[in-house]
Each structure stands twice: as C-alpha cells, then as structure tokens.
C-alpha cells in the first residue's frame, strides 16, 4: 500500500533510523532500501535531531538506548516542532519504559528482538495514517489567479510554465500554503523550514520571501498573495 492507486508520481517515503548498534542499522537500511524507502541514519541523539531538521523524514525509527542522550529526550526534541510518526525500538520490556516513551509522543513501541516483517508493517501503518494529516486534510492543488501550487507533485505552475524553486524556497512556500489564510509567525516559519534551533534569524525570511515574491507575484513590490504582517509573521492569501 505504498503508492496511491492513481497515476500520481509518489515521492519516496523518507525514513530516519536512529540506533547506535551498527548491525541493526545495517539490517534496517538494507530492508528499507530494498522496499524503495529513502533512508537516513544517525547513531546518536544530537545527529538525529540535526538530521531530522535538515531532511524532514516522513517517519522516524528510534532506538531508546543512545550513547549521548536519553531516547525520551530525543522524542521530546522532535515533538517540540514536528508531528512526524516516531516508532520506538527498545530492548527494555518494562511497561514503565513503554508508557514513558508513548506519553512523550512516540507513536509505537517495539521490543527487541523484533521481527522485520512486523516492524515494516508497523512502519507502513504509521506512514499510512500520517499521510492525510501531513497533507493538511485537503487540497493538494492550491490555485490563485496567477499561479498554481501542487503540494503532492512539489511543483509550481505560472502562466503555463513550471517555476523553478530552490529547496528552501519550496519549503517556505509549502508551510505558507498549508496554512492558507492563516497568519504564520516568523518563529514558526523559521523552525519549520530551517530547524528547531532557529527562531530569531528573521533576515532569512526577508530574503526568501523576496525571492518567492519575485518568482510568483505579478508585482513583487506590492504583493497580493504573500502578505507581511509587521512584527508578527507572514500570511498566504489565495
């Protein structure tokens, strides 16, 4: 059930694997790649958080026993800014451990040793139910009078031609469009696009908003769709 039944070119699912045991990571990576997942791997919590911010995985597989920090802290670190599904892997069978991890924000908890088939099924379940939530319950296609944004295909069309956007430009556009009509604070934009450790670098926003406007607005100096709310944030209007 990986790809949709329609002809839409499905973007590959990105998985972030966090574990300090090389053989487990290797087994997971091999199995996941064989099933056409895109895989990133981290062997400690700090790297994991950085990678999560940079790569925006669709699902996280997290071993609780990490060398540098408590696994539950990694969960909290992720939950501070994202709702990405987290599948916890652990050798601890204790009920308390499970409860703590789940209440911290984990979506599932599998004890080692685990069956690869079961893990993959749980992974599919986690991805499946996150899909529509990630899409913001609705339109994959957002149209204005001047351009069209296809959130699924990650494409922007203007006057019949596709507009080329850099990765950062697209990310920014995506967050704004997913909140069409709503004000998005500068802090939220920075954290969603640049990662949780950002929040004050408003000059990034100014530069990239200008680029988006130059590429998409009819009159970039008088934006009609990418509205600035001084001191508060930005808003995308259709």
My answer on whether omega of the bond before 113 falls inside 30° of 0, hence cis, is yes
Q: How far is the CB of 51 from its own copies (least distance, A)?
A: 22
- Four-residue CA torsion sign, 130, 136, 137, 143: negative
Residues of the shown chain interacting with DNA in the complex, contacts defined by CB under 7 A: 164, 166-169, 186, 194, 201-210, 213-214, 220-221, 228, 230-232
How many Å apart are CA 19 and CA 23, to the nearest integer? 10
CB of 44 to its own copies, least distance (A): 25
Q: Which residues pair with 185 in a beta bridge?
A: 233
Q: Which is nearer to its own copies, 96 or 145 (CB)?
A: 96
> Which lies closer to DNA via its Cβ, residue 93 or residue 222?
222
Provide, rounded to whole angstroms, the least separation between the CB of residue 4 and DNA. 21
Cite the DSSP H helix spans in 65-201: 71-79, 95-104, 116-134, 167-178, 186-194
Give the shortest CB-146-to-DNA separation in angstroms: 16
Of these partners, its own copies, DNA, none, which one is at the site of residue 155 (CB under 5 to 8 Å by kind)?
its own copies
Which long-range contacts (C-beta less than 8 Å, at least 24 apart) are formed by 161-165?
163/215, 163/216, 164/215, 165/212, 165/215
Residue count of the chain, please give it.
238
- Phi/psi for 132 (5° steps) reads -70, -30
Contact residues for its own copies, defined by CB under 8 A: 1, 83, 85, 95-96, 98-99, 102-103, 105-109, 115, 117-118, 120-122, 124-125, 128-130, 132-133, 137, 152-155, 166-167, 170, 181-183, 229-232, 235
Return the number of the residue (43 or 154) whose C-beta is nearest its own copies.
154
List residues bridging with 104 in a β-sheet. Answer: none
| CA dihedral (97, 100, 105, 108) positive or negative | positive
CA 211 to CA 29: how far, in whole Å?
A: 37
Minimum separation from the CB atom of position 138 to its own copies (A)? 11
Comparing CB distances to DNA, the nearer of 11 and 207 is 207
**With CB cut-offs between 5 and 8 Å by kind, which of DNA, its own copies, none does residue 157 bind?**
none
Residue 162 CB, nearest distance to DNA (Å)?
Answer: 13
Is-contact 149 173, C-beta < 8 A? yes
132 binds, among its own copies, DNA, none (CB under 5 to 8 A by kind): its own copies
């Amino acid at each position: 059930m990986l790809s949709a039944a329609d002809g839409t070119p499905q973007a590959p699912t990105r998985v972030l694997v966090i574990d300090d045991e090389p053989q487990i990571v290797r087994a997971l990576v091999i199995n996941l790649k064989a099933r056409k997942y895109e895989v990133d791997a981290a062997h400690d919590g700090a790297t994991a958080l950085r990678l999560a911010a940079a790569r925006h995985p669709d699902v996280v597989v997290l071993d609780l026993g990490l060398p540098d920090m408590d696994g539950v802290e990694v969960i909290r670190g992720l939950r501070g800014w994202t709702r990405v599904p987290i599948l916890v892997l652990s050798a601890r069978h204790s009920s308390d451990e499970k409860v703590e991890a789940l209440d911290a924000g984990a979506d599932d908890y599998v004890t080692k040793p685990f069956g690869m088939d079961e893990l993959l099924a749980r992974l599919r379940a986690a991805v499946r139910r996150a899909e529509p939530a990630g899409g913001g319950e609705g339109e994959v296609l957002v149209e204005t009078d001047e351009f069209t944004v296809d959130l699924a295909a990650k494409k922007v069309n203007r006057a019949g031609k596709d507009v080329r956007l850099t990765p950062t430009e697209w990310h920014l556009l995506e967050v704004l469009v997913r909140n069409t009509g709503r004000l998005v604070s500068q802090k939220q934009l920075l954290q969603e696009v640049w990662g949780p450790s950002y929040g004050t670098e408003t000059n990034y926003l100014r530069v990239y908003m200008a680029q988006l406007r130059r590429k998409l607005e009819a009159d970039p100096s008088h934006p009609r769709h990418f509205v600035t709310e001084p001191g508060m944030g930005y808003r995308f209007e259709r």
